[in-house]
Amino acid sequence: MPPVSLAQLALRTNLGKHELWERLHVRDLTESEAEAVAPELRREGATRPIHWHLVPGDRVLRRELHDAYGGSIQGGIIASSRFPDLFVFTDPERGARHGYDLYERLMPDGSYTYTGAGQEGDQTFLRGNKALLESAQRGQKIRLFRQEPRYVTYVGEFATGTPAYELRQIPDRNGNMRTGIIFKLIPVSADPTLLATADVSSAVATESAWTAPSSTDVVATGARELAAGRRISRREFELQRSFGEWLTRQGERVSVLSLPVDGTIITPDLYVSSRSWIVEAKRSVAREHVRTAIGQSLDYAHVARMHGYKAKPMILLPGAPTGSLTDLVRTNGIALAMQAGAGFSVLTPDAPLA
């Protein structure tokens, strides 16, 4: 039989793993060893309030998880009957038969998109889906687990993002298209790399030639919320295309990088290899957009260097931001490209370029 880990013993006894280690001085026990020490430990744990004992990476039997904290052993969104948290289980490979594999994945921004409950017909905000949607207002922590046969691996604590969900078309288990609820979960205290798929885990960084995309490459209708649709602006797309074409006319080498990191793949808008610029484009010069671009460009450049590329962060904007924002960009060592008529002006951290 598989060994019994301290995480499993903690669930059985309601004693912390660190405390168990200090008493037993072992990481794993045989089943017979665990059964021998469990009665005394259970008696002590029974006198204490129920505590959360798992940390990201702990792998336990799902049955023992529910024995400790309550809730049904079946289903993907489970309210604990003995603990104030909500348990969410993900298994994209097995869920492929219900259309869950289309959108259930770790995203480049670090969030995890999770398909709601309901295997046939349109998914609705009842039972588990309602509980997940209302978890924030109820003050519930979302405990996310990666499901496998019999066992689950604890990924960590999550919360619903902004927006909390999107509606997408997915197939049901009979192959009929229906409306699915795609929740956005953001890590609070978690190890999202535990959600990485095998193909992403084995991926390597690649550089490919940049070609000006056509307007058909842009998804015009984005995520639809319950009441109405939402249009995605083409401004960033047009800005990237114009800048890429302008750079090419200047004799610069423009390409696209695909960079694996932390269980996902990030793709900067452009990589100007002849200048080592990693480009992040934004459709507005508003402070909100510029501040976001600063973080993204620094992150892209950092990851690119990890993969051996020469990389200098650059922000691409449709015009000139305010003086304070320009200073903020430059003092962080970031180049700034600004659309100016039919061309662009480029301001580097040290000096402007023509």
Q: How confident is the model at residue 214 (pLDDT cuts 50, 70, 90)?
A: low
Burial of 124 (0-12, 13-18, 19+ CB in 10 A): middle
pLDDT tens sequence across 268-304: 999 999 999 999 999 999 999 999 999 999 999 999 9
**The predicted structure's pLDDT at residue 224:** 31
What percent of the chain stands above pLDDT 90? Answer: 78
Give Cβ neighbours of residue 260 (< 8 Å, ≥ 6 apart): 200, 203, 204, 205
What percent of the chain stands above pLDDT 70? Answer: 91
Helix, strand and coil in the chain, % to nearest 5: 30, 30, 35
- Longest alpha-carbon distance in the chain: 79
Average pLDDT, the chain: 90
**The predicted structure's pLDDT at residue 215:** 55
Q: How confident is the model at residue 354 (pLDDT cuts 50, 70, 90)?
A: very low
The string over 221-243, giving b where at least 16 C-beta atoms fall within 10 Å of a residue's C-beta and e elsewhere, is eeeeeeeeeeeeeeebbbbbbbb
- Determine the Cα–Cα distance for residues 350 and 341; give it in Å rounded to an integer: 24
pLDDT at 244 > cutoff 90: yes
pLDDT tens sequence across 35-58: 999 999 999 999 999 999 999 999
Structure tokens at 141: 């922590």
Mean pLDDT computed over 335-350:
93
Lowest mean pLDDT among 67-76, 200-209, 217-226, 330-339: 217-226
Mean pLDDT computed over 253-265:
95
**The predicted structure's pLDDT at residue 220:** 41
**The predicted structure's pLDDT at residue 226:** 30
**The predicted structure's pLDDT at residue 199:** 85
pLDDT at 149 > cutoff 60: yes
pLDDT tens sequence across 7-34: 999 999 999 999 999 999 999 999 999 9
Q: What is the sign, positive or negative, of the torsion defined by CA atoms of 307, 310, 313, 315?
A: negative
Q: How confident is the model at residue 227 (pLDDT cuts 50, 70, 90)?
A: very low
Q: Which of 214, 232, 138, 144 is nearest to 183 (CA)?
A: 144
**The predicted structure's pLDDT at residue 222:** 37
Of residues 225 and 199, more confidence is placed in 199
Beta bridge partners of residue 336, listed in sequence order: 315, 347
pLDDT tens sequence across 65-115: 999 999 999 999 999 888 899 999 998 777 666 667 788 999 999 999 999
**The predicted structure's pLDDT at residue 86:** 97
Beta bridge partners of residue 21, listed in sequence order: none
